[in-house]
Amino acid sequence: MGNRYEFIAPCHFGLEAVCKREIADLGYEIVKVEDGKVTFAGDMEALVRANIFLRTTQRILLKVAEFKAVTFEELFQNVKKVPWEEYFPSDARFWVTKATSVKSKLFSPSDIQSIVKKAMVERMKEHYHINWFEEDGEDYPVRVIIYKDVVTIGLDTSGESLHKRGYRRMVSKAPIEETLAAALIKLTPWNKNRILVDPFCGSGTFPIEAAMMGANIAPGMHREFQAQKWENIVSPKLFARGFEEAESLVDLSVEMDIQGYDIDPQIVKAARENAKRAGVDGLIHFQQRPVHHLSHPKKYGFVITNPPYGERLEEKEDLPALYRDMGKAFAGLDGWSEYVITAYEDAERYIGKKAAKNRKIYNGMMKTYFYMFPGPKPPRRKKPEQSEA
């Protein structure tokens, strides 16, 4: 095994460019960008740093094989060729946690899973000269992605999905995933010197993710990853160094104006507790307040929000009034930019203005739109300020 590996970072459909930029900013070479995933190259330190620092990916897969297969026999033979013994100790617990297939001849996930497992076992039998594996050691979960008959196999180094930063215990009805919230913030020109308000803050995800960016808090610095248990592949020293690097970059002295409002007092309380767990409660002001009371004396702020979109029929009737209130509140903000993610088809009509751009984004299986209403740029200050990223 050389010291250059390929890693796969799955991300939300429509947000690949954001994930790609984030990986490049960490200093790694982009190999390719496809629907819903970015492949990049690096050493084992890249595996560690990608897990700790990337905000917009779901997990990091260590790519172990890629080949074409249109029959189960081809799938079996190619999987058997992979040197699994380089990854799995003889007591490893290894299985295919997920198989996905798009536009391919082989499409039954359960068949793909069992054939890949069988081929891995055959290879291991030959190498370890054992006929039965107890599988009572560490977990080595495997993922299989088949797209247009090309099979990509990766080891899941993250374990629990990376959107689980560890701060969100209390969740509102239709929460937005942390990774998606971070990617949407990164799609806007917001930076820590600009005001940010979320008038439908729910469990606080947008304000918390923004505050973590502003204070340079790595999203994965307070959680564990599956690969930490793989001492045969990744040195524990690398994880120790990665967490140290994350600690050294945190800057809680940063001054920001970030606010989160919600009409439900219980939800506001939950958002405050989530922010506290994320270590950013001192950087965000949460308040119980309905959207029609949204106002701010200063110019050039940002609204980034995920308003209700009436998943239940009885809520649908309230939406026109709610979106009208939102539109009126936006009209009262001087020179602000507004960004709204919603599945509600009539959003623009009731907000009362046409978005400069809207992007189709899949939030889980739900098709949503990210409506962008950018405001004017603030005049440049006399002293050299941080450029608009």
What mean pLDDT comes out for the span 65-86? 98
Distances (CA, A) of 379 to 99, 300, 348: 51, 10, 28
Q: Which two tokens stand for residue 285?
A: 């002001």
What is the model's pLDDT at position 383? 60
What is the model's pLDDT at position 1? 39
What is the model's pLDDT at position 174? 65
Q: Which residues pair with 34 in a beta bridge?
A: 37
What is the model's pLDDT at position 130? 93
Q: Which two tokens stand for residue 336?
A: 């602000």
Asked if residue 19 has pLDDT above 70, the reply is yes
For residue 24, give the 3-state DSSP assignment: helix
Which H or E element spans position 205? Answer: helix 205-214
- Domain borders along the chain are 5-156, 178-217+234-373
Q: Which of 85, 342, 344, 69 is nearest to 199 (CA)?
A: 342
Question: Per-residue pLDDT tens for 135-163?
Answer: 999 999 999 999 999 999 999 999 999 99
Asked if residue 172 has pLDDT above 90, the reply is no
**Eight-state DSSP code of residue 90:** T
Contact between 163 and 177 under an 8 Å Cβ cutoff? The reply is yes
Asked if residue 79 has pLDDT above 60, the reply is yes
What is the model's pLDDT at position 213? 98
What whole-number distance in Å separates Cα of residue 186 and Cα of residue 306?
15
Torsion of CA 15, 17, 23, 24, to 10 degrees: -170
What mean pLDDT comes out for the span 46-63? 98
Torsion of CA 290, 292, 293, 299, to 10 degrees: 130
What is the model's pLDDT at position 330? 97
What is the model's pLDDT at position 317? 85
User: How are the residues of the chain apportioned to helix, strand and coil, as percentages rounded to the nearest 5?
Assistant: 35, 25, 40
Tell which wins on pLDDT, 371 or 378. 371
What mean pLDDT comes out for the span 55-76? 98
Q: Which two tokens stand for residue 277?
A: 């767990």
Question: Per-residue pLDDT tens for 177-201?
Answer: 999 999 999 999 999 999 999 999 9
What whole-number distance in Å separates Cα of residue 362 and Cα of residue 368?
6
Asked if residue 3 has pLDDT above 90, the reply is no
Transcribe 296-313 into DSSP letters: -SSSS-EEEE-----SSH
What whole-number distance in Å separates Cα of residue 238 and Cα of residue 79?
29
Transcribe 110-135 into DSSP letters: HHHHHHHHHHHHHHHHHHHT-S----
What mean pLDDT comes out for the span 194-212? 97
What is the model's pLDDT at position 365? 78
What whole-number distance in Å separates Cα of residue 359 and Cα of residue 174?
20
Determine what percent of the chain is predicted with pLDDT higher than 90: 88
Return the CATH number of 5-156, one of 3.30.1340.10, 3.30.2130.30, 3.10.129.10, 3.90.76.10.
3.30.2130.30
Question: Per-residue pLDDT tens for 241-276?
Answer: 999 999 999 999 999 999 999 999 999 999 999 999
Confidence of residue 133 (pLDDT cuts 50, 70, 90): very high
Question: Per-residue pLDDT tens for 321-370?
Answer: 999 999 999 999 999 999 999 999 999 999 999 999 999 998 777 889 99
Strands 93-102 vs 61-68: parallel, antiparallel or unpaired: unpaired
Asked if residue 389 has pLDDT above 50, the reply is no
pLDDT averaged over every residue in the chain: 94
User: With respect to CATH, is domain 178-217+234-373 assigned 3.40.50.150?
Assistant: yes
Q: Which residues pair with 141 in a beta bridge?
A: 95
Question: Per-residue pLDDT tens for 275-315?
Answer: 999 999 999 999 999 999 999 999 999 999 999 987 666 67
